[in-house]
Structure 1
Amino acid sequence: MTSRTGSRTGLQAPPPPVLDRCRALVEPALRTAVRTLHPWPRRMASFSLGWCDADGLPVGPGNSGGKGVRQALAVLGAEAVDAPGDAAVAGAVAVELVHTFSLVHDDIMDGDERRRHQESTWKAFGTGPAVLAGDSLFALAVETLAGAGGESGAEAVRHLSGALRELVHGQADDLLFENRPWTGPQAVDIPAYRAMALRKTGSLLGCAMAVGPVLAGASPLLSGALTEAGRQLGAAFQAVDDLLGIWGDPESTGKPVHNDLRRRKKTLPVLAALASDTTAGRRLALLLDSDAPLDTADAYCAAELVEEAGGRAFTMAEARRHVAAAHDCLDSVPLVPRAVGELRSLSEFLIDRQL
């Protein structure tokens, strides 16, 4: 049953324990790394990570940061090849720093004023300072990997830089999508969207799962399978994020309901609805093609049309397809069974987040 806000009734399954375990393992090293920054970007970085408010005052442990999915994937990827703990932690720290950097800059590009139930970094500190904070986080991530050890450290930096190149490619496509029409030969189609999501979101999750193994000198066969598994999980994660951008509970997402629709963002549920060749899809196209801003009533109507045209169901099926592909990658090479089991559990949590 769908409520007026679009969220599903019922209770969300609790996060798997591996998130807390990996956070406890990684956060001390992450805080140590951030403390090396200049005091001003250090405060903004700590704010972005959810450790303090805009004045630098510490926040309670229940308010800090996101779920820590990427650092958990980094730890589990390393554990899957029985890598040493220091490789797992260094990789996880670098990935979390890059993820936070990308969010800080992403909010600037999208003009998003809220992130994780507080002001976004640019809104709290200004655009220029937020760019500086993001640059500081990126530089610190590279330094973390470069200092993690010998030739493997250099290879890990190459692994990270390749993922960042892909991320930038995907982000550029996503921004260009905003200027393309909703219908007609220049419209964004589903294959183009899939390619963008694999780069924008999949690249970093692929990097997360393989950076620890690369640091530990794992074989290209193992690191390659983990990279592809992470890329597939990233595409699934993006699909669910697209659902949350329309129907997510603001108490969980920290953003207004129907936020992506109000911004006329080209997300997978909308594109699938437009491609459905249904009455609801055609009505949706007329609504989105209008130059008038979407008010509250229009946004509710658009959400209902997306669901009626099958966009919501299509996107959830897409997420599950990518998770299945990730599981196939994990099953294709010899990995530590316990870590694979935890990766499977975490992947199910990623697509069952509350809607």
Structure 2
Amino acid sequence: MTAGSPVAPVPVDLPEVLDRCRALVRPAMEVAVGGLHPWVGEMAGYALGWCEVGGAPAAAPGGKGVRPALAVLGAEAAGAPGRTGVPAAVAVELVHTFSLLHDDIMDGDATRRRRPAVWKAYGTGPAVLAGDALFALAVETLAGAPDGAAALRRLSAALADLLRGQADDLRFATRPWTGPGRVRPEAYRTMAEHKTGALLGCAAALGALLGGAPRATVDALDRAGRHLGTAFQVVDDMLGLWGDPAVTGKPVHADLRERKKTYPVLAALDAPHPAARRLAELLESDGDPAGAAALAEAAGGRAAALEEARRQVAAARTALAAVPLRAAAAAELDALPAFLLGRAL
């Protein structure tokens, strides 16, 4: 595939792609986690959806596996075998899980994927310990890969961005909904790119780096993943307001109760619509979250969020089209955005 050419029209069954990548990465994940202290390893397995408290095999499903798939597809897009990207996939998934353990503690989220969060199931201190262990294990895993030093530098930069985004997200909650100090949608986009996009971009870029891709290709995959991650976060915000908890595994309106600034609400507050003023008054009075969600939709917040997600997806596809990629892997990468947007439709 040449730079600037459209993605080849290869039929893609994305669930099958995710399953294939998961099957490639899971054994290496199990070996890595198996080297931890048994109790810490159990908490890690619980966080990853592999087991229940006490170590019995879990009936609950794990995550979607988007980040590991991006690392495998990044290697394949560079023309290398998918297994070349496995150390990157393992490292990024470990960092992602570490960030979720700490994120749930900071946000006070008691559930994740329809189960008690790790800190609720094992305690706050143990959950912090497990998160720290996963981060250390990610560094160890990547350090042993070919080009480990360059890969670690990229992972470190992505982690710095993730922490920057998390800091902004936490501070946004203390800022007013209206007035000079309010959070604008453009500030949200920067936060989302850092908090969510950095690690998705890192996954694809690390796979390509370990696959021997030139710097331009690695950077393009990083940009594409960042745009994809921003779209992912916007869609996640929509599901938090209007999704079905039985499907998403997340309590509806939790973000509003915690005064988190999400894209649909920020866009609604910016809209020249009568419902925007009523929304602002309700939010400032800490009123009914369900009513706030309804007003945000009436003011155009849901439509604006979906349009923003589509813009980010288009930017991701532009980045992918700018560099030469192996056609089959490029088509599989191109199928991911439709999957993410489909969750919100």
TM range (shorter): over 0.9
User: Equivalent residue for 1:81?
Assistant: 78
Query: What is residue 7 of structure 1 aligned with on the other side?
Result: none
Write the deviation string for residues 47-79 of structure 1: whole angstroms up to 9, x where unpaired.
00000111211113xx23111111111111111
Worse-matched range after superposition: 211-220 or 328-337: 211-220
CA RMSD in angstroms comes to 1.2
For 1:120-159, list aligned pairs within 5 A. 120-149=117-146, 152-159=147-154
Residue identity matched to 1:332: A
Q: Which residue of 1 aligns with 2:292?
A: 302
Tell me if 1:221 matches 2:211. Answer: no
Give the CA deviation at 1:41: 0.9
Deviation string 1:17-65 (CA, Å, 9 cap, x unpaired) is 21111111111111111000011110100000000111211113xx231
- Give unpaired runs (5+ residues) of structure 1: 1-13
Q: Which residue of 2 aligns with 1:49?
A: 48
Asked if 2 retains the 8 angstrom alpha-carbon contact of 1:41 and 1:136, the reply is yes
CA shift at 1:15, angstroms? 5.6
SS of the aligned residue for 2:180 comes to coil
Counterpart contact for 2:198–2:229, Cα < 8 Å: yes
TM-score where L is the length of structure 2: 0.94
Q: Give the structure, 1 or 2, with the largest relative contact order (CA under 8 Å, sep 6 or more).
A: 2
Whole-angstrom distance in 2 between the partners of 1:64 and 1:94: 21
Question: Which residue of 2 is the match for residue 170 of structure 1?
Answer: 165
Partners of 1:260 and 1:245 in 2: CA distance: 7
Deviation, structure 1 residue 225: 0.5
**In structure 1, C-alpha distance between the alignment counterparts of 2:324 and 2:14, rounded to whole Å:** 27
Q: Residues 24 and 83 of structure 2 are in contact (CA less than 8 Å); yes or no, is this contact kept in structure 1?
A: no
- C-alpha displacement at 1:248, in angstroms? 1.1
List alignment gaps of at least 5 residues for structure 2: 1-12
- Cα separation, 2, equivalents of 1:18 and 1:86: 14
Residue number in structure 2 paired with 1:26: 25
Which residue identity lines up with residue 162 of structure 2 in the other structure? L
Identity %: 63
The alpha carbon displacement at 1:215 in A equals 2.0
Cα deviations by residue, 1:64-117 (Å, 9 ceiling, x for unpaired): 311111111111111100124332111111111111111111001100000001
Per-residue CA shift, 1:127-173, capped at 9, x if unaligned? Answer: 11100000011111111000112xx1110011100000000011001
Q: In the alignment, is the contact (CA less than 8 A) between 2:256 and 2:289 conserved in 1?
A: yes
Is 1:105 the counterpart of 2:102? The answer is yes
User: Stretches of 4+ moved more than 3 A in 1?
Assistant: none
Aligned length: 333
Distance 1:271 1:120 in 2: 28
**Equivalent residue, structure 2, for 1:17:** 16
Residues of 1 paired with 2:250 and 2:221: CA distance?
Answer: 32
What is the TM-score with the length of structure 1 in the denominator? 0.91
